[in-house]
Amino acid sequence: MDERTRRERSLWEDDRARAEARAKKNAAIKKRKQQMKRRRIISMIVAIVLIFSLVSCGFKACTSDKDQDNGSKKKANKKEEAVSISLLCVGDVMAHSPNIKGAYDDATGTYDFTRNYHDVTAYISEADLALCNVETTFKGGNPSGYPLFNAPDSLATALAGAGFDVAITANNHMMDTGHDGMQRTLQVLRDAGMATVGSRYEGEKSYTVVEAEGVKIGVVAYTYETTFAGGSTTINGNPVYEKSESLINSFSYHDLESTDYARMQADIDGAKADGAEIIVCYFHWGEEYQREPNMWQESVAVAAANMGADVIFASHPHVLQGTDVLTTNDGRSVPVFYSMGNFISNQRQETLNNRYTEQGMIARVDIEYMKSTGEILSKTMSIVPTWVDKYGSGKPVYAIVPLDENLQYNYDLSLSGHMSRAQQALEDIRALVGDELLSGKTILTGGQNDDGTEQSGSQQAA
């Protein structure tokens, strides 16, 4: 074994040890949450039994006035604990032809995308609810990349294995393989173990409601429409015929006020009617390769916040855009991630002469929720910056690299020699969003920070 191989092996072992330690820490956190949840359930059962006993035997016969006073004091002193919920979302999961080629195993004749997500799995699986924008279809047959995306089914398996719970299908490539491809995509994603939102089968609702930590969360997702061809709706220039039109969530910038805002409001109201206590909205919007949101993005975000959205995630520009905190007409604070960039793709410096397309983020919002009152006490926004590495001759290797405190030990970067590019990406992202989001920005209800001061960068959602 030569010196370079020994060094690479040592770096790999160190990286694996850190990953195992991180996984154990995450497992411990989940275990503590489960223990807390069990204790809450046990407390509820005990309380029900006590109430039943008091009713059965008669309160006066079962307790003295002194016991009653003591019980009242104990009850008054006992406080409900807020439920902690972590929501996570990433941007565009793409499958360009080189990405597909990199996942192909010549020995088995199959595709395996799990290697792409190895370094970020710990972050994704630790969240209570993790969402991703799946910007491809799964029609089956021969895989293809741009311009008509059709990924191998194993990509869905890899996403679920990485820890994603909800697959978002509302994007400008959702109709790349027609009605049948759009419908089979739902089957593949659900068979992999994920809920879906943004498209549906006949008879299903146009939103989804999932549960995390005993709290029901409604997810609403929409994509922009492109043009109108002969009066028909088109998505990325692909016609959306009548049988598909009622099964996808899309909006036209020109019809927002007349029809599409009402549809979004109906979805949010419907999710709440089905028990959703927290509303997450996702939008596929904006202009490609622009690093600042346009007026349409800002207008739709304001509208969605006032409709009842508690968190807004978004993507499509294929580069990162900034974040904001909107204050609604009723005083709620709504975090907005205007574009989470590419989570993985083949768009990069070498192909587009644009290094920003290699950059992404793992966007996260931690919520403290009081279930008895339905009140959100606080939201903490944070991100983990990411960068897509690509290396290897012949068959390319892709890896999503978290730009975190362990960056210098990353195994893929030790093989690719791209450490300087990853560090440049971190500098770019830090300059765009600021240092505060890397450590966490806590927002209290009413548009204030956790120290009671007015939020910087917050705007009135009027």
Q: What angle do CA 274, 217, 182 make, to 5 degrees?
A: 85
Structure tokens at 144: 């293809």
pLDDT of residue 62: 40
What distance in Å separates the CA atoms of residue 201 and residue 277, rounded to the nearest whole number? 25
pLDDT of residue 446: 52
Structure tokens at 122: 């710990």
For 371-407, list the strands marked E by DSSP.
375-391, 397-402
Asked if residue 278 lies in contact with residue 134, where contact means CB atoms within 8 angstroms, the answer is: no
3-state secondary structure 352-369: HCCHHHHEEEEEEEEEEE
The upper half-sphere exposure of residue 360, i.e. CA atoms within 13 Å in the direction of its Cβ, equals 33
Side chain identity at residue 37, one-letter code: K
Q: What's phi and psi for 407, nearest 5 deg?
A: -55, -45
pLDDT of residue 78: 63
Q: Identify the burial level of 459 via C-beta atoms within 10 angstroms of its C-beta, where 0-12 means exposed, 13-18 middle and 19 or more buried.
A: middle
Q: In 3-state terms, what secondary structure has residue 70? A: helix
* b/e map 133-151, b = 16+ CB within 10 Å: bbbbbbbbeebbbeebbbb
pLDDT of residue 445: 64
pLDDT of residue 394: 84
What distance in Å separates the CA atoms of residue 326 and residue 459, rounded to the nearest whole number? 5
What pairing do the DSSP bridges indicate for beta strands 110-111 and 311-315?
unpaired
Domain 84-460 has CATH 3.60.21.10: yes
For 225-322, list the strands marked E by DSSP.
228-229, 232-235, 238-240, 250-251, 278-284, 311-315
Position of tokens 């989940």? 30
- The count of other CB atoms within 10 Å of the CB of residue 245 is 13
C-alpha dihedral, 353 to 354 to 355 to 357, nearest 10°: -130
Instruction: Report the run of H or E that residue 327 belongs to, with start and end.
Output: strand 323-327
pLDDT of residue 49: 44
Structure tokens at 124: 């994704």
Residues 6+ apart with CB under 8 A from 338: 286, 293, 297, 301, 314, 321, 322, 323, 324
C-alpha dihedral, 396 to 400 to 404 to 409, nearest 10°: -30
What distance in Å separates the CA atoms of residue 365 and residue 314, rounded to the nearest whole number? 14
Q: Identify the burial level of 177 via C-beta atoms within 10 angstroms of its C-beta, where 0-12 means exposed, 13-18 middle and 19 or more buried.
A: buried
Is 0.85 surpassed by the pTM of this model? no
pLDDT of residue 64: 46
Long-range contacts of 303-306 (CB under 8 A, 24+ apart): 303/256, 303/261, 303/264, 304/264, 304/268, 305/332, 305/334, 305/336, 305/461, 306/461
* b/e map 34-54, b = 16+ CB within 10 Å: eeeeeeeeeeeeeeeeeeeee
What distance in Å separates the CA atoms of residue 462 and residue 453, rounded to the nearest whole number? 21
Structure tokens at 195: 């809920």
pLDDT of residue 241: 87
What distance in Å separates the CA atoms of residue 459 and residue 462, rounded to the nearest whole number? 9
Residues (pLDDT < 70) of the chain are: 1-78, 227-231, 445-462
pLDDT of residue 67: 52
Residues 6+ apart with CB under 8 A from 144: 97, 150
